[in-house]
Amino acid sequence: MLQARRIKHCRRCGTPVEYRIPGDDNRERAVCGGCGEVHYENPLNVVGTVPAWGEQVLLCRRNIEPRFGLWTLPAGFMELGETVAAGAVRETEEESGAKVELLGLFTMLNVVRVGQVHLFYRARMLDTSLDPGPETIEARLFHEHEVPWDEIAFRTVRVTLRHYFDCRRGGHFPLHCGDIE
Amino acid sequence: MLQARRIKHCRRCGTPVEYRIPGDDNRERAVCGGCGEVHYENPLNVVGTVPAWGEQVLLCRRNIEPRFGLWTLPAGFMELGETVAAGAVRETEEESGAKVELLGLFTMLNVVRVGQVHLFYRARMLDTSLDPGPETIEARLFHEHEVPWDEIAFRTVRVTLRHYFDCRRGGHFPLHCGDIE
């Protein structure tokens, strides 16, 4: 969800903000009417993995909104204090319990409409033990022909999975950058 | 600069926040004592380019803090409403006036200490016309032996430039991911 226009009060002093272009800027920001604090709103990174075990990939069935009950690759918002890679590993473990080794950045997909950049690493599962967290109904391995394409939660996940299976046939995995309308 | 711990008031209702772990979460967030709004703070993307004209690269001398007077590749915070690539082109134009064509994502560097991910594209300058904006004292082209290595503003810029010149000798430009301590 776009976070723009959600700021009503100054985070520093609590005074109502107004949206205007600050003197040294060229776009509207939420500016505090009291202390003058300028509040910037910027895109967020969603980081995750394509966990593979041999020919299979790991998907998680979402236990939370949005897209409750649909299947996703493990992914979530990158947090302060971690790298993109560390966030991808953390989300994988939180959502599925899978232990993985990262192989390389595989997709970087802009979702401008919601102010997000989705970054997926390829990952090798170290074993098949799973322990889904509270955000996941179930986690399981899928062969390509088993993937529930009509029940994938997000377009970035579908695009990443398509590229993954295509690249695997070719045997190499360049970075794919793209935009989701 | 890390943005954590800077939220004192709720952006929705202005009530003071407290830092605690919400019931459905596993890390501290700024939670409103009034309306219950949870405020997330996440890393930001800094996006830019390595603009090249033949053997030369374009650097900009900073007219703003931090690192006033030092040299940088054109880059800045990614904004809502744009892709990583569009942000990189925009920053290049704003800071130097250079018109560029993007070639490929070249570096993704985590700067965990300040909660940032720096993403640089390689870019080809379409001509040598420059028109630096207010954030830039001067913009000019440098051959490798002319680069002012001791006056580079940011480590991500230095790392990106080093990789760039190294790769150019080898003739190919894979993505470099890395972490800046």
Instruction: Inform me whether the pLDDT recorded for A2 exceeds 60.
Output: no
Instruction: Inform me whether the pLDDT recorded for B130 exceeds 50.
Output: yes
**Model pLDDT, residue B6:** 83
As to burial, measured by CB atoms within 10 angstroms (0-12 exposed, 13-18 middle, 19+ buried), residue B30 is: buried
Mean pLDDT of A121-129: 98
Task: Round to whole Å and give the CA distance between B136 and B129.
Answer: 15
Q: Band of the pLDDT at B5, cuts 50, 70, 90?
A: low
**Model pLDDT, residue B1:** 41
Instruction: Inform me whether the pLDDT recorded for B3 exceeds 60.
Output: no
A132: Cβ contacts below 8 Å, ≥ 6 apart: A60, A95, A96, A97, A138, A139
Task: Round to whole Å and give the CA distance between A53 and A63.
Answer: 23
Under 8 Å between Cβ of B62 and B25: no
**Model pLDDT, residue A6:** 83
Three-state SS at A109: strand
Q: What are φ and ψ of residue A145, in 5° steps?
A: -75, -10
Mean pLDDT of A156-172: 97
What confidence tens digit (pLDDT) does each residue in B65-91 have? 999 999 999 999 999 999 999 999 999
- Which percentage of chain A shows pLDDT scores above 90? 94
Mean pLDDT of A21-45: 95
**Model pLDDT, residue A5:** 59
Task: Round to whole Å and give the CA distance between B5 and B19.
Answer: 8
Pairing relationship of beta strands B176-179 and B100-111 according to DSSP bridges: parallel
Q: What separation in angstroms does the CA of B21 have from each of A85, B31, B35, B89? A: 24, 8, 16, 39
What confidence tens digit (pLDDT) does each residue in A69-103 have? 999 999 999 999 999 999 999 999 999 999 999 99
Question: What interface predicted TM-score (ipTM) does this complex get?
Answer: 0.95
Q: Band of the pLDDT at A1, cuts 50, 70, 90?
A: very low
**Residue A86: in which H helix or E strand, if any?**
helix A84-96
Q: Kindly provide the residue ranges of all beta strands, DSSP E only, lying in A41-170, ordered along the sequence.
A: 44-53, 56-62, 71-72, 75-77, 100-111, 116-125, 136-142
Instruction: Inform me whether the pLDDT recorded for A4 exceeds 70.
Output: no
Task: Round to whole Å and give the CA distance between A68 and B26.
Answer: 20
Q: Indicate the pTM of the whole model.
A: 0.95
- When the pLDDT of each residue in chain A is averaged and rounded to a whole number, the result is 96
Q: Is the Cβ pair B77, A41 closer than 8 Å?
A: no
Task: Round to whole Å and give the CA distance between B115 and B74.
Answer: 19
Task: Round to whole Å and give the CA distance between B142 and B105.
Answer: 21
**Model pLDDT, residue A147:** 98
As to burial, measured by CB atoms within 10 angstroms (0-12 exposed, 13-18 middle, 19+ buried), residue B55 is: exposed
Of B3, B11, B115, the CB nearest to A7: B11
Q: Which of A52-61, A112-121, A162-171, B2-11 has the lowest mean pLDDT?
A: B2-11
Residues of chain A with Cβ-Cβ distance to B84 below 8 Å are: 108, 110, 117, 177
Residues of chain B with Cβ-Cβ distance to A84 below 8 Å are: 108, 110, 117, 177
Provide the shortest C-alpha distance from residue A145 to chain B (in Å).
31
